[in-house]
Amino acid sequence: MALTPLRDDALQTASDGYALRLSLPWIRSLPLSSLVEPEVRIDDRPVPCRVVVGDRVIDPDDLATETRWWYLQDRVVLRVTDAATPGVHEVSVSFRLAIPYLDGGPDGPLELPFRCARPLVADASSPSVSLDVGIAA
């Protein structure tokens, strides 16, 4: 289990920019709808992201209706349409995790804020054996 959202191989180049593969920083699997308002910055610039779920690309706001699960060993792919360039990039991601089985008060479940920033090299290493959420084994 990895408790850091950004592993060494998290940043991959894609045909239209980057794919940022986000690990689950929690102690057990959660519904994909637990990912709330992901935001990505590359080299200190905010960049819009969409979420890849299997063969679909959805807006982060549409995660609330997703029924798939985010298993500990899997990663959520955030698609970033930005000009991909080689070299080291300072990548940061922030989001909230809604923990459905922990009470957060009258407004709903507990939501925990997460923020992770680190330098990453695009395609620095081959992706691990982790599957992307929504991809069948």
Distance (Å, whole) CA 133 – CA 125: 20
pLDDT at 129 over 70: no
Which of 37-41, 106-110, 126-130 has the weakest average pLDDT? 126-130
Mean pLDDT value of segment 1-26: 87
User: What pLDDT shows up at residue 1?
Assistant: 43
User: What pLDDT shows up at residue 87?
Assistant: 82
pTM confidence score: 0.88
46-88, pLDDT tens digit by residue?
Answer: 999 999 998 999 999 999 999 999 999 899 999 998 777 778 9
Q: For the chain, give every domain's residue range.
A: 11-121
